[in-house]
Amino acid sequence: MPETIAAPPPAPTPLPPSAAAPAIVDAAQLLSGAGEILIRHAGQHYRLRVTRANKLILTK
């Protein structure tokens, strides 16, 4: 009886650029030594600051 060979699985479809992994930004580089920065998004300002416990807080 002849042996049947299965077709190889299809190659995975590459992800579109929007689904790629997000960029990683070092907080120290973002803050540039400051304790807080303002971030403008869609016409609004947000404050990103570092606490005494070295945690990040983002507020509107």
Percent of the chain with pLDDT over 70: 90
42 burial type by CB count under 10 A (0-12 exposed, 13-18 middle, 19+ buried):
exposed
Lowest average pLDDT, out of 3-7, 30-34, 48-52, goes to 3-7
Q: Is residue 19's pLDDT more than 80?
A: no
**Per-residue pLDDT, 18:** 65
CATH code of 35-60, in short, is 2.10.70.10
- Give buried/exposed letters for 1-39 (b at 16+ CB in 10 A, else e): eeeeeeeeeeeeeeeeeeeeeeeeeeeeeeeeeeeeeee
pTM, full prediction: 0.62
Domain ranges of the chain: 35-60
